[in-house]
Structure formats: structure tokens, C-alpha cells
């Protein structure tokens, strides 16, 4: 089946002609069917926020924000006890700052400015510079207030159209934001609004705005003075020539130059400088073409650069095609579609489940109409460990990793490989840090931002002997006191946890004391005795309080769990396969596959029929569900009574918000099974975890639960988890 799919895929690639071509980079050009200079935009509104509010109408709900022109520093945006952030205007002497204060509550804000005259039917471009230390990808207004948008109005003041916009991920450096479109034909005026009701801006958070402009294109067109395009890398044969087709009206020019490189393991090596046919940058290739310079004769790769110039704003040169190569090995590029900004993708993967512990892992990388894969960039990590042997590339392009030894359960490794990461609201940066000692395993580095930074790092499950003593050691450094961190029993608590032979919690949580603030590496040692009935254990590092705010840093390194060896067959033999690769334009991919070594399930298989009906082992099941089943006074704090009453009321499916794998959660599962209920549950990281490992550990452990119907992967997705993050989790579970 794998070979059949590969042949079909290759045939499709060969048979489909490239209708457009991407390029490496461009500046001040208009691409498409031809290549020409970009048109000049005529501004109808400009504001550098040197003076404020000026013509802007300001809304600051309950005055919980500081809004004004930036001073040399911004004390209003400082967290108490921390230095103020160093912010400077993008240009000029000032910029606009919207800063959080220590006033708690709703921080809705908005700016509004009316534009009295706009030309209907014209293309428009809104651009502004912004920097901010909150994730603003999913901002929201409230009713008719606090939106970021342009409202186009007709002559009577009625709405003719709306263009909404958002900001983006955290960007503490200035970044240009652009909104483009066409003004509705019947529009005669506009209202520009910037702001949001959600998320709130608490103390320490800020949004800065500068250099705002709203521009239009006018007729007749006027063009910028110069622009350029740099092509993607192209393979060239010996004796290659470079030519082009273009139209150059009076006062316009086209300058075409090339640079070349030798082959380096299937990708360009070191590039030459940009050259004309004589090998210098003083000349350019004629349209009729010329051989590449002598310095390029032994080279296998080339890039061309098209430089467009005009001294007449009313005229532009037009390039229709560029041809590079020789004989039958010519490449003609035309219909430039835009810069190559998309990374490669994994388009084929071997099955994520197999009973064969030494089965090879296969995958195929594809770069679409982009520049192509850089073979030197392909790296594979197994449970966080770089694979240096056993990775090969087959003739059909398939990459194959053959393990040196059969896959076995991961266990607890010094480099935190295989640990699940729950990052509530995604406000923490959790990444590999420098080893504690040269040559050691990477540390795990946590850096925070303003907001709720609750998190949990959960180790793989390891087998233990009941009654045996185990030794836990780890190193840490942290700029904040953590002597109270991780207390309690919720999803974000810290400790060592034990499980019985069925994977059920047993014994008490063994707390971890991280101690007072100490920015230097220091070691923590613990000895714990496994409860007599324990057969497995795991470690969790996490806390809901204190938050890891801006400027704070926490790191862990070299964690070990040592003691008498044991076996627990139910521990999932689950592995994360991470593939890193980039294309020849430098667009990088890092994607993961998951491999579970286990026989395929034969019972409790849930599928959907073509008409959407749920099937369990091929038999129709119509779920009639209720959410948030808890022990409460009205059911006498009994799950059995709760499920019995729900069954009598006609329900057959239940849900819970409780995701922590506690004895009460186990009680919930068992009661549901006794009463014939099916369950819709989340993994221990909660229903909005962005980390597939956090979900898969529980999926692999609990997939055999007879009450399980479906996994609760995301809740209120617009507010908490993006479509790409949800896709990654969904794909991993499938």
C-alpha cells in the first residue's frame, strides 16, 4: 500500500505543470503574470502619534489603562518590583502607548478616527507599526465597541462594508502590520477603529503603535523608482546561459545578474557574488542571453536577480520570463506568484501504530511549488535524541529510519525527552536551554510573560517495585522563590505519583520543594518509598502560583529517577519522532509523528458512518449526553447515584471537566462503566492543551477503558487554541 501511494504521488507531480513559480525574495515589485515595479500608494491619512489624541476619539473603559505618548521609559507598564521595559518609538520622537496598570478588571479600549472623503472602488492599504507583549492573534470587541476594523460608509452614513484586522503573536520588536483590499464602490467616507475588549491588559503589559497610514492607488498609476526580485535556487547544467524577455519603455531599465554555487550534498554550497556575463557586478545580462561567467563553469546551482528601474514615475519595465540553462535542460520561469515563505510539509508517514517493535519509520517531505528540500537540513529526533545512524533516503524520495534496537518504553531521561508539557493559555516559553555542564543533556528553560502562566511538565511512566526505595535528583535555577510552588493536588501540582497494576493512583503525592530564589544551578535530592501496591510512577513539575512573569526565568536539568528495576506491561511503548527540515529558501519545518508499539485494538472501535451516525464495533450508537458530571449534595456525593439517575432520565453519555488523574477521576470512570455509560473526556493537561504528548500519554494508557467514547481535545477554540494547534493534536491522536 505504501509503494502504491508513493507511485501515484510521483505521477501526479510529474503530470501537473507548474502554473506559477515562487521566488526567494522581492522588494517593491508587483508579481503575477509578469514582473513590474510596484505602484506608489497615495496616503489619505498619516499619523506618527507625535501628538495625541488629536483627531482620535479615545475609549478607555473605567480608565484602567494608561494611554498616551511614550516617555523615555514606561513606568505605567512595569510590574511592581521590576525595571520598566525599554521602549522607543519606531521613528520620530514619539509613539502611542496603551499600558496596563495595577487596576484589576476589564481593560477594554479603543481609538476611532473618521475620514471624511474616500474614493469608492479604489484599492487601499492600511499599514502601521506595532509592538506588544501579549498574544493578540484572537482579539475581540464588545457589541459595537472596541473593534479593530475599517468601516466604509456611503454618502448617507450607512455601512457599505467592513475590513476587520487583528495583530498577531507576541512581538516585542516593532513589526509592520498591513491590511489591503478594495474600498466598496458606493463608499464615500470611513471610520478607522483600533482596539479590543479581550484579552485584558494587566499590569506589565503594553501595546505600542506608530507610523500609521491609510493609502490608495490612483489612476493613472505611478511607480516606485526601483525594485528587485531574487529567484529561488535553480540547478544548472554545464554551459548554462541566462536570458529574459522584457519590455522597457523609455526611461526604464532591466538589469539581470546571477550568482552561482557548487553542489554540497544536494544543495547549494558557498555562493559567488552577483555577476554579469564578464564575472563582475559592473555588467548585466542582455535580454538575448549570454553564457554564465567562467567562474560558474564547475557550479551546479544558480540564482538570478532582476533589478527594475525607472526615472519616469508613469512608466515601468515589464519582465515576462527568465530562462536559465542549456539545451534540453532549460528552466523558464514566468508568472511569479510570490515569495516562498511556506516550509516543507510531511505528506506521507508510516502507520503510527504497529506491533513490530523494530519496525522502520518512513516519511516523505514535500515543498509544493517552493524551492525544494535542502537534504542537509533533514534531522530526525527520537524522544528528543538526535538520530545520527539508521536514517537513509530511498530512490523514490522516502526517508527511512531503522532503529538500532527495538523500541522500548522511554523512561525518565536527563534531557526531558518524552515529557508532556501543559502550558495554560500558552503564555510560557518552554524550550531547550544550554546544558548545565558542557557535553551534558539540554536543560529545560521556562520564561514567562504577563498573565496566568500555569503549567505542568509530566514525565513518562516508569515501572517500580512496591515497597522499594527510589532516588530522585535534579538541578534547577530560578530567579523567584518557589518554596510554595506546586502545592495541592490539581493538574498543575508538583510531586512524585505512584500507580497500581491497573494504572490507578495509589498512595499520597510526594511533594517537591524547589526552595527560595537562587539563580545559580543547585541540586535537589529526594528518596521515596513506593507504596506496597505500587507498580509504576511518574514525576510532575508544575504550578499555578506564582506566575512566571516578564523577566523571570526557571530552568531544570539532569533529572534522574533511580532504584530497583521492574516491569509493568501496561506502560505504553509510545515514542515521539520529530522531523526537522528546511527548504532552499530557509523556511523551516519541525513536525512530529507518534509511534505506539502495540497490537491493533479489536474491541471498542468507535467510527463514524458516512451519514454521520456513530458506530461502536460497527453497531449504531446515538449519544444522548450531559456535561460536567460531579459528586454533589443532590446526588449524595456519589458517582453511582449520579449515573443511576442520569440513566433513568434517558442519558447514555457523560462528560467531565475534571482532567487530573486522581482517585476521584478513577472513581468516575469505574462508575460510568458499571452503569453502561460512554464518556467524553480530556487528557490530564486539560481540554485546551497545545502539546500532543500531554494528550497521547493518556490516550495510549486509557484507550482500553470500556466506557471511553471520545477525546475532548479543545474547548472554546476561538479563545484558547488555534486551528493549527488543534490540527497537530488531532492528527497525533488519530
Q: Is the dihedral of CA 22, 27, 32, 34 positive or negative?
A: negative
> If you average pLDDT over residues 624-649, what whole number do you get?
94
Residue 717 belongs to a domain: yes
DSSP result, 155-201: TTS-EEEEEE----S-EEEEEEEEEEEE--TT--EEEEEEEESBS--
Does the pLDDT at position 16 exceed 50? Answer: no
Q: Please check whether residues 558 and 644 belong to one and the same domain.
A: no
In-domain check, residue 415: no
Same domain, 252 and 372: no
Least confident of 80-84, 116-120, 369-373, 550-554: 80-84
What proportion of the chain, given as a percentage, has pLDDT over 90?
71
Containing 644, the helix (H) or strand (E) segment is helix 639-648
Over residues 25-34, mean pLDDT? 95
Is 607's pLDDT higher than 70? yes
Q: Are residues 149 and 91 in the same domain?
A: yes
Task: Report which secondary-structure segment, H or E, holds 507.
Answer: strand 505-510
Q: Are strands 619-621 and 171-182 parallel, antiparallel or unpaired?
A: unpaired
Domain boundary among the residues 191, 216, 241 is at: 216
Residue 675 domain boundaries? 601-733
Q: Indicate whether 236 and 123 sit together in one domain.
A: no
Domain contains 414: no
Contacts made by residues 603-610, CB under 8 angstroms, sequence distance 24+? 604/704, 604/706, 604/708, 606/709, 606/710
Whether 581 is in a domain gets the answer: yes
β-pairing, 678-681 vs 25-27, is: unpaired
Q: Are 438 and 472 in contact (CB under 8 A)?
A: no
Q: Are 687 and 714 in contact (CB under 8 A)?
A: yes
Whether residues 268 and 326 share a domain: the answer is yes
Range 359-373 average pLDDT: 93
Domain tally for the chain? Answer: 5
| Spatial contact of 304 and 228, defined as CB atoms under 8 Å apart | no
**Separation CA 435–CA 441 (nearest Å):** 5
Directed axis angle between helix 639-648 and helix 663-674, to 10°? 30
> How high is the mean pLDDT of the chain?
90
Same domain, 47 and 182: yes
The answer to whether residue 183 is domain-embedded is yes
Q: Are residues 64 and 194 located together in one domain of the fold?
A: yes
pTM to 2 decimal places: 0.80
Pairing relationship of beta strands 206-216 and 171-182 according to DSSP bridges: unpaired
DSSP-derived pairing of the beta strands 536-543 and 495-499:
antiparallel
Task: Show which of 312, 339, 366 is a domain's final residue.
Answer: 339
End-to-end CA distance of the chain: 19
- For residues 295-302, average pLDDT: 94
Q: Are residues 92 and 162 in the same domain?
A: yes
Is the pLDDT at 686 greater than 80, yes or no? no
Both 233 and 264 in a single domain? yes
421 — pLDDT class (breaks 50, 70, 90): confident
Say whether pLDDT at 19 is over 80.
Answer: no
CA distance 666 to 502: 11
Q: Enter the C-alpha cell of residue 506.
A: 495509589
Tens-place pLDDT, residues 496-546: 999 998 888 899 999 999 999 999 999 999 999 999 999 999 999 999 999
CATH of the domain at 164: 2.60.120.260
Q: Are residues 208 and 177 in the same domain?
A: yes
Instruction: Tell me what percent of the residues of the chain surpass a pLDDT of 70.
Output: 94
Q: Any idea what the CATH number is for the domain that residue 668 is in?
A: 3.20.20.80
Same-domain status, 228 and 187: no
**Distance of alpha carbon 20 from alpha carbon 698, whole angstroms:** 45
pLDDT for 4 equals 34
Q: Are 377 and 584 in contact (CB under 8 A)?
A: no
Output the domain CATH number for residue 349. 2.60.40.1220
Sorting pLDDT into bands at 50, 70 and 90, what band is 425? confident
Question: End of a domain among 297, 314, 339?
Answer: 339
Name the 3-class secondary structure at 673. Answer: helix
State how far the Cα of 671 lies from the Cα of 676, in Å rounded to an integer. 9
User: Is pLDDT at 14 greater than 60 in this prediction?
Assistant: no
> Would you say residue 69 lies in a domain?
yes
Is residue 163 situated within a structural domain? yes
Query: What's the CATH code of the domain at 294?
Result: 2.60.120
Nearest Cα to Cα of residue 428 among 292, 541, 561, 277: 541
Q: Which grid coordinates are listed for 449?
A: 510573560
Q: Per-residue pLDDT tens for 691-733?
A: 787 788 888 888 889 999 999 887 766 555 667 777 878 888 8
- Does residue 182 share a domain with residue 228? no
Strand order in the sheet with 379-382: 353-354, 588-597, 574-582, 379-382, 385-386
pLDDT tens-digit map of 139-188: 999 999 999 999 999 999 999 999 999 999 888 899 999 999 999 999 99
Classified as helix, coil or strand, 3 is helix
Distance CA 257, CA 247 (A): 17
Q: Which residue has the cell 526567494?
A: 24
How many beta carbons lie within 10 A of that of residue 85, not counting itself?
21
Amino acid at each position: 500500500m505504501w509503494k502504491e501511494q508513493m507511485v501515484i504521488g510521483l505521477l501526479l507531480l510529474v503530470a501537473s505543470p507548474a502554473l506559477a513559480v515562487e521566488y526567494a525574495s522581492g522588494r517593491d515589485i508587483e508579481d503575477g503574470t509578469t514582473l513590474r515595479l510596484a505602484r506608489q500608494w497615495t496616503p489619505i491619512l498619516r499619523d506618527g502619534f507625535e501628538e495625541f489624541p488629536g483627531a482620535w476619539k479615545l475609549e478607555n473603559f473605567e480608565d484602567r489603562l494608561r494611554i498616551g505618548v511614550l516617555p523615555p521609559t514606561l513606568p505605567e507598564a512595569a510590574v511592581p518590583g521590576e525595571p520598566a521595559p525599554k521602549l522607543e518609538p519606531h521613528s520620530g520622537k514619539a509613539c502611542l502607548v496603551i499600558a496596563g496598570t495595577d487596576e484589576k478588571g476589564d481593560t477594554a479600549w479603543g481609538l476611532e478616527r473618521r475620514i471624511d472623503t474616500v474614493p469608492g472602488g479604489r484599492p487601499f492599504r492600511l499599514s502601521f507599526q506595532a509592538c506588544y507583549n501579549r498574544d493578540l492573534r484572537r482579539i475581540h470587541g464588545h457589541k459595537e465597541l472596541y473593534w479593530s476594523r475599517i468601516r466604509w460608509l456611503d454618502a448617507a452614513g450607512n455601512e457599505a462594508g467592513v475590513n476587520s484586522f487583528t495583530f498577531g503573536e507576541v512581538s516585542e520588536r516593532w513589526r509592520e502590520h498591513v491590511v489591503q483590499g478594495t474600498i466598496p464602490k458606493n463608499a464615500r467616507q470611513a471610520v478607522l477603529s483600533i482596539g479590543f475588549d479581550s484579552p485584558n491588559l494587566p499590569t506589565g503589559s503594553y501595546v505600542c503603535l506608530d507610523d500609521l497610514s491609510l493609502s490608495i492607488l490612483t489612476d493613472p498609476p505611478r511607480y516606485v523608482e526601483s525594485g528587485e526580485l531574487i529567484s529561488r535556487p535553480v540547478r544548472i547544467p554545464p554551459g548554462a546561459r541566462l536570458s529574459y524577455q522584457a519590455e522597457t519603455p523609455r526611461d526604464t531599465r532591466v538589469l539581470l545578474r546571477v550568482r552561482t554555487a557548487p553542489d554540497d550534498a544536494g544543495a547549494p554550497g558557498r555562493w559567488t557574488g552577483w555577476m554579469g556575463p564578464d564575472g563582475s557586478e559592473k555588467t548585466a545580462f542582455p535580454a538575448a542571453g549570454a553564457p554564465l561567467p567562467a567562474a560558474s563553469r564547475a557550479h551546479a546551482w544558480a540564482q538570478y536577480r532582476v533589478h527594475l528601474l525607472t526615472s519616469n514615475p508613469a512608466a515601468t519595465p515589464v519582465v515576462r520570463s527568465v530562462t536559465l540553462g542549456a539545451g534540453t535542460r532549460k528552466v523558464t520561469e514566468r508568472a511569479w506568484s510570490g515569495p516562498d515563505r511556506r516550509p516543507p510539509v510531511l505528506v506521507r508517514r508510516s502507520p503510527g501504530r504497529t506491533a513490530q517493535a523494530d519496525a522502520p519509520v518512513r516519511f516523505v517531505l514535500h515543498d509544493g511549488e517552493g524551492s525544494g528540500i535542502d537534504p542537509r537540513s533533514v534531522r530526525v529526533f527520537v524522544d528528543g535524541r538526535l538520530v545520527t545512524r539508521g536514517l537513509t533516503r530511498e530512490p523514490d524520495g522516502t526517508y527511512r529510519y531503522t532503529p538500532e534496537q527495538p523500541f522500548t518504553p522511554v523512561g525518565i531521561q536527563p534531557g526531558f525527552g518524552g515529557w508532556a508539557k501543559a502550558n495554560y493559555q500558552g503564555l510560557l516559553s518552554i524550550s531547550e536551554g544550554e546544558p548545565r555542564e558542557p557535553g551534558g543533556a539540554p536543560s529545560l528553560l521556562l520564561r514567562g510573560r504577563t498573565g496566568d502562566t500555569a503549567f505542568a511538565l509530566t514525565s513518562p511512566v516508569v515501572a517500580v517495585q512496591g515497597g522499594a526505595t527510589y532516588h530522585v535528583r535534579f538541578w534547577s535555577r530560578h530567579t523567584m522563590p518557589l518554596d510554595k510552588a506546586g502545592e495541592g493536588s490539581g493538574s498543575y501540582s508538583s510531586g512524585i505519583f505512584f500507580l497500581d497494576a491497573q494504572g490507578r493512583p495509589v498512595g499520597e503525592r510526594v511533594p517537591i520543594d524547589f526552595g527560595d530564589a537562587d539563580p545559580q544551578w543547585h541540586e535537589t535530592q529526594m528518596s521515596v518509598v513506593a507504596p506496597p501496591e505500587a507498580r509504576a510512577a511518574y514525576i510532575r513539575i508544575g504550578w499555578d502560583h506564582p506566575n512566571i512573569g516578564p523577566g523571570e526565568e526557571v530552568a531544570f536539568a539532569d533529572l534522574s529517577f533511580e532504584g530497583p528495576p521492574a516491569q509493568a506491561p501496561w506502560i505504553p511503548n509510545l515514542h515521539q519522532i520529530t522531523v526537522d527540515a528546511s527548504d532552499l529558501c530557509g523556511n523551516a519545518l519541525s513536525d512530529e509523528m507518534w509511534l505506539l508499539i502495540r497490537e491493533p485494538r479489536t474491541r471498542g472501535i468507535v467510527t463514524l458512518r458516512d451519514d454521520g451516525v456513530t458506530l461502536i464495533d460497527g453497531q449504531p450508537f446515538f449519544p444522548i449526553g450531559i456535561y460536567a458530571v460531579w459528586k454533589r449534595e443532590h446526588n449524595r456525593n456519589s458517582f453511582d447515584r449520579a449515573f443511576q439517575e442520569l440513566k433513568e432520565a434517558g442519558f447514555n453519555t457523560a462528560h467531565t471537566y475534571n482532567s487530573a488523574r486522581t482517585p476521584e477521576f478513577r472513581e468516575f470512570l469505574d462508575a460510568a462503566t458499571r452503569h453502561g455509560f460512554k464518556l467524553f473526556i480530556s487528557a490530564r493537561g486539560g481540554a485546551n492543551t497545545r502539546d500532543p504528548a500531554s494528550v497521547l500519554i493518556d490516550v495510549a494508557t486509557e484507550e482500553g477503558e470500556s466506557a471511553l467514547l471520545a477525546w475532548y481535545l479543545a474547548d472554546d477554540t476561538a479563545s484558547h487554541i488555534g486551528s493549527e494547534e488543534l490540527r497537530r493534536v488531532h492528527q497525533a491522536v488519530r
